[in-house]
Amino acid sequence: MHIHILGICGTFMGGIALLARAAGHQVTGCDANVYPPMSTQLEEQGIALTEGYDAGQIGLNPDLFVVGNAISRGNPLLEEILDRNLPYVSGPQWLAENILQGRWVLGVAGTHGKTTTTSLLAWILEEAGLKPSFLVGGVPQGFGVSARLTGNCADSPFFVIEADEYDTAFCDKRSKFVHYRPRTTILNNLEFDHADIFHDLAAIETQFHHLVRTLPRNGLIVANGAEDTLARVLKRGCWTPVERFNIGDGWQAGEADAAGAFKVSHGGTPIGETRLDLPGAHNRANAVAALLAARHAGVPIEVGLRAIATFRGVKRRLEVRGTVRGVTVYDDFAHHPTAIAATIEGLRSRIGAARILAVLEPRSNTMKLGTMKAALPGSLADAERVFCYAADLGWDAGEALVPMGAKASVFDKLDALVSAISAEARDGDHVLVMSNGGFGGIHGKLLAALAG
């Protein structure tokens, strides 16, 4: 079958492309905003990519159009598909019907940490010899691709998936994760986000409960016991056993030493020790959640602990992009105040008293609406300097960052932003760039400016 994917460079839809090709389909696609790592991954896999959404792509005559959730009414290609009554389906529905059916699905849900936790879980299963298939919203360093299919259900039944609460498609406003029907589910955390589609926190909790209602009695929920929001979700009705982490009477990760080593305990009783290259308490909690989910799939705790110690992280999660004149430049996906604060805290635990120059692009739909602007100063407080790129915002970033005083600067031109950062940076500094988009290739521009 020939499928043509609209929005193929999104992390999820790019993964769909890889899975469809591995399943034997002919795959083409289109997108308007093309940037690494997904564009590079598609090119390496030999998947043909068309720039833009010209209605003439109908002439490719695919058997099916798979429509990403970034595609809205008014898109020229989508309108042509609808006018001609051509066959189309959402990405999550295609995945559920063509790939996930009959498999042991391990889903990772939560406002934050999904990509890292999903990657950790897939890595533990891989190191245990279980050959998992997976779809991650990023590119795990140990795998080099965001999605993989390892054969049929008999060869390896396990499929690890990042279970996103964002909506499915223009034609299906349910959360993506209700399509996946996982047997093992991690509920990492839950707070308000995606203000463009959810009215309030209660609306998101309802979607999480829709997920819980699909889980089988012989499954397992691995839930963050420190989250009141998740407690409320489970109190609405739960038919699946629950194991809790990040809480005293459940599973916990201890403090890490200078080498990243930490102990794992249950109810205060030591269970074992491992190490993690990723800094921060949130990442150690992610590792414990992945450890418990893997155990449900048959991986002994001691095997999981050894696997965590060899995990190499994920692209765009505190990824070092280069060091020039003693200044290290990082790329990170953080775009919500909670994630921004956790990322800065994690970097601080690694570098000690060295200066952090935080560079933020408020690019997500929630950020563009200004819903989280009041929380930004607090989330950035532990950085020595803050640089904000405020092009195309519907609110005044300078006004929002007034509480930070001279510590924060706002720019609406990328070149001016790069010049200001390179002029400020000095030997020993760490420049932390945070955005959920390509940010105009700022990382390469910064490294070039520092070198010059």
In this structure, the answer to whether residues 135 and 245 fall within a common structural domain is yes
* 314: in domain: no
CB burial readout 272-291, b (16+ within 10 A) else e: eebbbbbbbbbbbbbbbbbb
Helix intervals (H) in 245-319: 281-296, 301-308
- How high is the pLDDT of residue 314? 83
- How high is the pLDDT of residue 45? 82
* 119: in domain: yes
In this structure, the answer to whether residues 303 and 325 fall within a common structural domain is no
* 52: in domain: yes
283: CATH: 3.40.1190.10
- How high is the pLDDT of residue 105? 98
The yes-or-no verdict on residue 116 having pLDDT over 70 is: yes
Domain boundary among 70, 92, 114: 92
In this structure, the answer to whether residues 358 and 280 fall within a common structural domain is no
In this structure, the answer to whether residues 123 and 48 fall within a common structural domain is no
Residues 207-219 have pLDDT tens digits of 999 999 999 999 9
In this structure, the answer to whether residues 143 and 282 fall within a common structural domain is yes
* 55: in domain: yes
In this structure, the answer to whether residues 141 and 215 fall within a common structural domain is yes
Token output for 225: 């016991």
Lowest mean pLDDT among 136-140, 322-326, 358-362: 136-140
48: CATH: 3.40.50.720
Per-residue confidence band for 5, with pLDDT thresholds at 50, 70 and 90: very high
Number of domains in the chain: 3
Give the predicted TM-score (pTM) of the model: 0.84
End-to-end CA distance of the chain: 51
In this structure, the answer to whether residues 235 and 208 fall within a common structural domain is yes
The yes-or-no verdict on residue 415 having pLDDT over 90 is: yes
* 203: in domain: yes
In this structure, the answer to whether residues 33 and 138 fall within a common structural domain is no
Average pLDDT score over the chain? 92
Report percent pLDDT > 90 for the chain. Answer: 73
- How high is the pLDDT of residue 309? 96
- How high is the pLDDT of residue 35? 65
In this structure, the answer to whether residues 152 and 23 fall within a common structural domain is no
Residues 67-92 have pLDDT tens digits of 999 999 999 999 999 999 999 999 99
382: CATH: 3.90.190.20
Q: What is the DSSP letter of 366?
A: H
In this structure, the answer to whether residues 158 and 288 fall within a common structural domain is yes
Peptide bond preceding 37: is omega within 30 degrees of 0, i.e. cis? yes
Instruction: Give residue 260's domain range.
Output: 102-308
* 97: in domain: no
In this structure, the answer to whether residues 333 and 360 fall within a common structural domain is yes
Task: Report the distance separating Cα 242 and Cα 151, nearest Å.
Answer: 30
In this structure, the answer to whether residues 123 and 60 fall within a common structural domain is no
Instruction: Tell me, letter by letter, the H, E, C secondary structure of 115-151.
Output: HHHHHHHHHHHHHCCCCCEEECCCCECCCCCCEECCC
Domain boundary among 65, 92, 119: 92
* 51: in domain: yes
- How high is the pLDDT of residue 434? 93
Domain boundary among 56, 71, 92: 92
Residues 303-350 have pLDDT tens digits of 999 999 999 888 788 889 999 999 999 999 887 888 899 899 989 988
Smallest Cα–Cα separation from 293: which of 121, 53, 87?
A: 121
- How high is the pLDDT of residue 36? 67
* 421: in domain: yes
